[in-house]
Copies of this chain bind each other. A is one copy, B any other.
Amino acid sequence: MAATIKSVAELAGVSIKTVSRVVNKEGTVKPDTLKRVEQAIAELKYTPNKAARDLASNATSVLGYVYDNPNAYYIIDMQKGILDVCRKNNFELLIHPCDASSENIAQELVDMVDSAQLAGLVLSPPLSEMPDVLHHLNEKNISYVRILSGDSEFSSTLPYVLVNDFKAAFHITEHLIAQGHKHIAFIAGEVIHKSTTERLNGYKAALKKASILFDESLIIEGTYSFETGVKSADVLLSMPSRPTAVFACNDEIAAGTLFGARMKGIDVPNDLAIAGFEDSPFSRQTFPPLTTASQPTNEIAQSATSSLIQYLRAKKTKSQFDNLTQTFIPQLVVRRSTKVSL
């Protein structure tokens, strides 16, 4: 049978409470006692029983990662990042894919947290940006950390991590302009994603800086999907004065646009430059490879998760929680889809 706290205590010649103190790093144990206990733990290969722990301390150590995002790579990266931090802190991770457009998504999440007895939630867009969801969580006093698109910090009791899509989009558009483009189309993703409007604003800002008139007809609304790209290519390429460049809101759209351009025999980047966003693995594998903006998803996830855990600890001990918000700026990656000579 597995070792218990009792067997460790006996071997070390101390009470179980002292073992508990060592395991929980309470720090009020004499150095030599500490050593004896640690040795006993090692010898018996003791691992604290999670269930007993949770039960006794009336607090679980399971976080939930809730997502609704079509990008498998993004999710996998997020998961890895969250997991890394969870492991280091003895937390577990529960995965919960869901449908953000569902009628009662807020209730679903609350119920889920309840029934799975979660300590807290990691929310990525678009869930992290839905007022209704946040409101319900707040009401039930559920802890969560948000990853969201934005460029300015704001005050909040709960932790959050920002991704500055505005600046990244600005840089991409500037790059396009630097290649000589003046007619630059913008293909948007779901408007429910704040990233869409942030990226659009970055695009607009760059145009303005270059004194290029913003042309409403060059904006196409769609979803973060390959299909949107294909359809948009169709629309854009049959315009009387067609754009010479396209800034797609993500790589999927960009890949679709590329596909659509191909269908029409349009050469990329000579006849049409295409830029994406997110640096998905396949953005390197299209022909030609896509210019894009790369965000350190893994790091973002880690940062968010450790903030959440710190918050939970502070909450438990009722101590002060310093909400040190990190901001990440996706970096421009130039590839052949926007530049001939590379």
Q: Is the CB of A114 within 8 A of B47?
A: yes
Chain A interface size band reads 35 or more
A267-295 vs B, CB cutoff 8 Å, 1 = contact: the mask equals: 00000000000000110111100000000
Residue of A72, A75, A258 contacting most chain B CB atoms (<10 Å): A72
Residues of B within 8 A of A262 (CB): 287
Residue A132, interface by CB 8 Å:
no
Q: Is the CB of B115 within 8 A of A47?
A: yes
A96 to B79, CA, bound (A): 10
A13 to B80, CA, bound (A): 48
Residues of B within 8 A of A2 (CB): 114
SS class, residues of chain A in contact with chain B: helix
A:237-261 near B, CB below 8 Å: 255-256, 258-259
Q: Is the CB of A116 within 8 A of B92?
A: yes
Residue A51, interface by CB 8 Å:
yes
Given contacts A95-B83, A285-B259, A287-B259, contact A55 B47 (CB under 8 A): no
CB A117 to nearest CB in B, in angstroms, measures 6
A:79-121 near B, CB below 8 Å: 79-80, 83, 92-97, 114-117
A284 to B284, CA, bound (A): 17
Nearest opposing residue in chain B for A289, CB measure? B259
A115 to B92, CA, bound (A): 11
A92 to B50, CA, bound (A): 14
Nearest opposing residue in chain B for A227, CB measure? B285
Q: Is the CB of B287 within 8 A of A287?
A: yes
A76 in complex: contacting residue of B45, B54, B75, B263, CB < 8 Å: B75
CB A6 to nearest CB in B, in angstroms, measures 14
Residues of B within 8 A of A114 (CB): 2, 45, 47
Can you report 26 A-B residue pairs in the complex whose CB atoms are below 8 A from each other?
A2-B114, A47-B114, A47-B117, A49-B55, A49-B117, A50-B60, A50-B116, A51-B52, A51-B55, A51-B60, A62-B92, A72-B72, A72-B75, A76-B97, A79-B97, A83-B96, A92-B94, A93-B94, A226-B281, A226-B284, A255-B282, A255-B285, A259-B286, A262-B287, A263-B287, A287-B287
10 pairs of A and B residues whose beta carbons are closest in the complex: A51-B54, A72-B72, A51-B55, A72-B76, A51-B51, A262-B287, A72-B73, A226-B285, A47-B115, A52-B55
